[in-house]
Amino acid sequence: MPAPELDPTTSAPTESPCREDGFVPLRSYAPIGDGRTIALVAEDGAIDWLPIPNLDSIPAFAAALDSSNGGRLELAPSIPFTSQRRYLPGTNVLETTFSTDAGQVLVTDALNLGLDGRLPWTELVRRVDGVDGEVPMRWRIAPGTCFDTASPWARQTPHGIVLRLKDLNLGVVTSEDMDAEVTDQAVAGAFTIDAGQRRVIGLVATDAEPLMLSPVDDIDRGLDRTVAHWSNWSSQFECTGTWKEALHRSVLFLKLLIFTPTGAVAAAATTSLPERRTGGKNWDYRYAWVRDTAYTLDALRRLGIREETHAAISWLLRTVRRHRAGTGVFYRLDGSPVDPVIEREAPGWRGIGPVVTGNRAHNQLQLSIYADLFSTVRLYVDAGHALDTHTGHMLADFADQACDAWRNRDAGMWELEALEHYTSSKLGCWHALRCAVGLAEMGQIPGDPDRWASEAERIRNWVERECWSDELTSYEWYPGSGKLDASILLHAGSGFDQGPRMSKTIDALRHNLGSGPLLYRFTGAREEQEGAFVACSFWTVSALHSVGRDEEARELMDELVALGNDVGVFAEMIDPGDNSFLGNLPQGLSHLALIGAVLDLQS
């Protein structure tokens, strides 16, 4: 039986020519954020995704997964239009120019920041400036059902318009000369804007606490403050060279995924955007993977970004100590254990389900987690910092664990159900032990580095003997598999192999798993109708550089950068057939791989 729908007379979305059955292509989305949550803005001006108060909250606005009941914030001309977008330079503030036969209008969207950074409430601002002519506009704020767990209601109070959704309080603030129609479950309005005029629509939100209905002028000034804040933040690092714009934009997107209350790094901003059009591969990526944290710290360190680097490594080490019983694959953004997987009442993007919260992979054994943890700490120490005593003892224990654990089958980097002796997993343990030896030699951790060095050499010998395939002329996915795995590319950069074998492996991967500039993640992924994995494609650039094939690396980099959307966003996957996006977005791993590839080519 389908879930009950919202009242169609008050909450039905307005049809847009940009949409098909109420949905836009995933390429249409551009993120804005405040360090606590992220909103996704479509090309037609609608915000189809906004969890409140936190990125991992059940979203109050989730039309990206449920066009009818998900909830959406709309703002666009009420006559036919085209749109063009950009981010204001050095910021995560989005500017959309709508062009109509009647004139042009500029909409600036942001999640506002405060004087000291993140506000203690959520504040969305939508500033409308008339550029040319006289343009009729329409707007609408209609919360959803939180995956069919709540029913929104709206009221005109003595102090302003308030919508309520479970414990959420949502205040709607507009310019004084704008009328608003309040229905049971939504707020909407229309206005005409002339050249030189400005109108502002604000949404202020709190969770189970009083609601501050900020004056509209304060919200408008907050937008200017937010632009200045982002510009100041991005001025701390310099991006130069051929791909400086892609690099700068990717770093700004990465900053959006850093959860400022704790320093955790979210893998992506969304859940359940499908990895294939036939469904079934829909995951919740609003968690902090140890792997992604390691790559983030590497990128931040290389760019000279200090505060986020320390916050992320402090969060990681505190969280690992808190869950000392084992090395978890990922954690909630507040460091607590991962939620159980719940399949929600929502159809999914274009009906491709399931829609889930939680992620079942957290209980898996992934041996590469040792490499992620140790490489993170080694990079931090190499940058001139020192470890505390508790962390040193913990890492010595983990190094001892890795000496034994590498002999086990695991789920591998791709979190598969089949347990195998994955080559990349063994090399993760090798890399972890080599890092542990280096840390011990620098006096940062106690323990027996002779044992770690000996076991690392044993792993190297085993991989060289068991994991090379003469038939494939490549390292294979696992011994005897006759299959390929693109994650081996990471171990050109780790230093395991930068010689002829790795160069031949790159060629084998591109020949067997490649589609144009893109790369599928392992043998069989194409047949499973997944998209090509964006991060693997950028890892190829870094691997080519590591084996001395820079000209090929640069040519590939040019092709890959061009595959982002109009404002530089990358999702998890791209369908090589039509270059459409698949999977959650913005995907941290995709942008981290881009950042790493650019920095490698500049080194």
% the chain with pLDDT above 90: 85
The per-residue pLDDT for 516 is 97
- What whole-number distance in Å separates Cα of residue 377 and Cα of residue 392? 10
Contact present, 365 and 329 (Cβ < 8 Å): no
- Would you list the DSSP string of 397-436? HHHHHHHHHTTS-B-TTTT-SS-B--HHHHHHHHHHHHHH
Which of the four pLDDT bands, split at 50, 70 and 90, describes residue 178? Answer: very high
- What whole-number distance in Å separates Cα of residue 439 and Cα of residue 449? 9
The per-residue pLDDT for 96 is 98
**Mapping DSSP to helix (H, G, I), strand (E, B) and coil, where does residue 241 land?**
coil
Instruction: List, for residues 53-68, the tens digit of each pLDDT value.
Output: 999 999 999 999 999 9
First CA to last CA distance, the chain:
58
Question: Does residue 10 surpass a pLDDT of 70?
Answer: no
Instruction: List, for residues 401-437, the tens digit of each pLDDT value.
Output: 999 999 999 999 999 989 999 999 999 999 999 999 9
**Mapping DSSP to helix (H, G, I), strand (E, B) and coil, where does residue 480 land?**
coil
Q: Is the peptide bond before 53 cis (omega within 30 degrees of 0)?
A: yes
The per-residue pLDDT for 175 is 96
| 385 against 518, higher pLDDT | 518
What is the arithmetic mean of pLDDT over 143-164? 95
Instruction: List, for residues 532-580, the tens digit of each pLDDT value.
Output: 999 999 999 999 999 999 999 999 999 999 999 999 999 999 999 999 9
Domain at 243-601, CATH from 3.40.640.10, 1.50.10.10, 3.10.350.10, 3.90.1170.50: 1.50.10.10
User: 26-231 and 243-601: same fold?
Assistant: no
Least confident span in 74-78, 117-121, 272-276, 538-542: 117-121
The per-residue pLDDT for 383 is 84
- Report domain extents, the chain: 26-231, 243-601
- Residue 209's Cβ-count burial label (10 Å; 0-12, 13-18, 19+) is exposed
Which of the four pLDDT bands, split at 50, 70 and 90, describes residue 118? Answer: confident
Number of residues that this document lists for the chain: 603
Which of the four pLDDT bands, split at 50, 70 and 90, describes residue 362? Answer: confident
Q: Which two tokens stand for residue 284?
A: 């919740």
The per-residue pLDDT for 1 is 45
Domain at 26-231, CATH from 1.10.287.130, 2.160.10.10, 3.40.50.1820, 2.70.98.40: 2.70.98.40
Contact present, 540 and 488 (Cβ < 8 Å): no
Q: Which two tokens stand for residue 487?
A: 């994650």
- What whole-number distance in Å separates Cα of residue 377 and Cα of residue 386? 10
**What's the whole-number average pLDDT of the chain?**
94
417-423 contacts, C-beta under 8 A, 24 or more apart? 419/365, 420/477, 420/478, 420/481, 421/466, 421/478, 421/479, 422/367, 422/477, 422/478, 422/485, 423/463, 423/467, 423/475, 423/476, 423/477, 423/478, 423/479, 423/485, 423/488
- What whole-number distance in Å separates Cα of residue 323 and Cα of residue 337? 8
Q: Where are the alpha helices (DSSP H) in 528-587?
A: 534-546, 550-561
The per-residue pLDDT for 20 is 86
Contact present, 256 and 36 (Cβ < 8 Å): no
**Distance from chain centroid for Cα 436:** 30
Task: Look up residue 364 and give its amino acid.
Answer: Q
Task: Look up residue 551 and give its amino acid.
Answer: E
Which of the four pLDDT bands, split at 50, 70 and 90, describes residue 325? Answer: low
Cβ-Cβ contacts under 8 Å for 161 (sequence gap 6 or more): 154, 155, 171, 172, 173, 180, 182, 187
- What whole-number distance in Å separates Cα of residue 175 and Cα of residue 220? 10
CA 239-241-243 angle, 5° bins:
80
| 448 against 169, higher pLDDT | 169
Instruction: List, for residues 244-289, the tens digit of each pLDDT value.
Output: 999 999 999 999 999 999 999 999 999 999 999 999 999 999 999 9
Which of the four pLDDT bands, split at 50, 70 and 90, describes residue 222? Answer: very high
